[in-house]
Amino acid sequence: MNLASQLIIIGFALIALIVLVLVIFLVYLILFDRNQKRHAILRNYPALGRVRYFFEKIGPEMRQYWFNSDTEGRPFSRDDYEHIVKSAKYNRDVIGFGSKRDFDEEGFFVRNDMFPKLSEEIKMDKETKVLTKRYILLKDPLLSQREEKWEDEESSAHLLHDDDAIVIGPNTRHPFVLKGLIGMSAMSYGSLGHHAITALSEGLGLAKGTWMNTGEGGLSPYHLKGGVDIIMQIGPAMFGIRDKNGNVDWDELKRKSELPQIKAFELKLAQGAKTRGGHIDAEKVTPEIAEIRKVEPYKSVDSPNRFPQFGNIASLLDFVEKIRDHTGKPVGIKIVVGGNDSVEELAKYMKETGKGPDFITIDGGEGGTGASYQELIDSVGLPIKSALPIVVSTLEKYGVRDRVKIIASGKLFTPDRIAIALAMGADLVNIARGFMIAVGCIQTLKCQSNACPVGVATTDPDLQKALVIDEKKYRVVNFLVTLRKGLFRISAAAGLDSPVHFQPKHIMYKDDKGVVTSLEHILHDIKRQIGAS
């Protein structure tokens, strides 16, 4: 028997063996599934049941990539996601042919001016430059990986002119001066891994004129890596500044305040996606994270629903004053608005006593989170476009609006969304998930599991290897700079030389019947409802 015949026989034997093993395995599964008591469908249809569970398992991915249209996906549609990725990767934000927006639906529109501002009429810092890197797409074949070139690029930072700089806490010993309107919302180390936090810190530092919020998980060395300005958030559990009993360690707070990168403190009363305290699963509480937060390692951590130190407006503002006096730096509060009278007592007390926060962060109910509950994410707290006018109108009613800066957050990840928020009364804007996408998030919606496959929302060292800091930090720069550039561009279209001049008269609202109403008129109705006009 020659070699060829022997190989044929061996091949048939292997095939027969494989088939036999598969048949035995299938019979085992059938017998096992018919006798198990947990899954009804497998007891009656063991083989088909397995197929059903397989397709159910891959359903989210199939919908995301195949079956949802470009504008259907949630929390971010494919268009939303790709817009962020292309801005971050290619430092470009142009599209072709036309808009995919449904213009028959109701929505807000920026009112263009008959005579928009020319480039030379734009008032901004034209000296500060940003050094970054971006990809140039060379080829995009169907059956192989796209071919790209990575190149250095220098561009304008698109920062505000010195005359338009935003000052938080002008009467404090150390005011916080900002020349960029967009910063990173609260994202804790622990919810995100150190690769993600480092890439964000270094990218924001390169972009200049911005800030990052530590989240309630405390200040980590990774937040400090990029030299970016920092707002340190303090949650009800006092992570990072707590003693063994969970109370404020005032000496530790003082030490934190002496770090030059820390520009302000924020008391987190609530978050849009979870009007409760925070949570981190036990597997994420590594010894390092436990040391940063001053808790025990490998034990799940829940932050209380509210600060035990205060339970009313008077004691809240006393606490704000105490932190401000102790640190010399601006102190703000982060809130979620539930109704027309949510900030009535706060504004009234500010007027009567002269006390108050230096800034208020308003988080919309559409905001994101690492982990929360469906009923809180979906139904507790107003979205930002409803909440923001209520806060602004109430503060104006009591004559205290000029004493406080307002930071808005809640899916404000494009220049037009930011422009609308500014016209509604925001001074600054926070973004979280947009920056997560910029460093690699692909929306697998597994933030609570510590199994993020791209190394963003995980502390698993093996999974974090996917996130290359020296590449992703430039995507952070590019995303932020394209946002700023787009904001100046849309300002010019509205006849403004700077986005700080957006007012309600620059925004129109079209209902589903095509009837147009100015934002001024809408805000007038809101003011009337809360007794401000």
Give the CA angle between residues 335, 338, 344 to the nearest 5°: 75
Cα 178 from Cα 511, distance rounded (Å): 36
Residue 454, token pair as written in the block: 């791209």
Model pLDDT for residues 440-498, shown as the tens digit of each residue: 998 888 888 888 999 999 988 999 999 999 999 999 999 999 999 999 999 999 999 99
When pLDDT is cut at 50, 70 and 90, the band that residue 268 belongs to is: very high
User: Cβ distance 386 to 460 under 8 Å?
Assistant: no
Cα 57 from Cα 47, distance rounded (Å): 16
Cα 190 from Cα 456, distance rounded (Å): 10
When pLDDT is cut at 50, 70 and 90, the band that residue 108 belongs to is: very high
Residue 300, token pair as written in the block: 């799940």
Does position 320 have pLDDT exceeding 90, yes or no? yes
Does position 9 have pLDDT exceeding 70, yes or no? yes
Position 314 scores a pLDDT of 96
Model pLDDT for residues 181-223, shown as the tens digit of each residue: 999 999 999 889 999 999 999 999 999 999 999 999 899 999 9
3-state secondary structure of 413: coil
Peptide bond into 330 cis (omega under 30): no
Model pLDDT for residues 383-436, shown as the tens digit of each residue: 999 999 999 999 999 999 999 999 999 999 999 999 999 999 999 999 999 999
When pLDDT is cut at 50, 70 and 90, the band that residue 139 belongs to is: confident
- CA nearest 387: which of 412, 416, 415, 358? 412
- Residue 460, classified by CB atoms within 10 Å of its CB into exposed (0-12), middle (13-18) or buried (19+), is middle
3 state SS for 189-249: ECCECHHHHHHHHHHHHHHCCCEEECCCCCCCCCCCCCCCEEEEEECCCCCCCECCCCCEC
Model pLDDT for residues 50-103, shown as the tens digit of each residue: 888 788 777 777 777 777 777 777 788 888 889 999 999 988 888 888 888 889
Cα 207 from Cα 232, distance rounded (Å): 20
Lowest mean pLDDT among 249-253, 292-296, 501-505: 292-296
Q: What homologous superfamily is domain 162-493 in, according to CATH?
A: Aldolase class I (3.20.20.70)
Mean pLDDT of the chain: 90
Residue with tokens 């690492």: 370
Domain ranges of the chain: 1-67, 162-493
Q: Give the pTM.
A: 0.90
Does position 24 have pLDDT exceeding 80, yes or no? yes
When pLDDT is cut at 50, 70 and 90, the band that residue 276 belongs to is: low
Q: Stretch 325-348: mean pLDDT, rounded?
A: 95
Dihedral (Cα; 229, 235, 241, 246), 10-degree rounding: -170
User: Cβ distance 520 to 504 under 8 Å?
Assistant: yes
What amino acid occupies position 460? Answer: D
- Quickly list H helices, 425-508: 433-438, 461-464, 469-493
Largest CA distance in the chain: 105
Q: 284 or 278, which is more confident?
A: 284
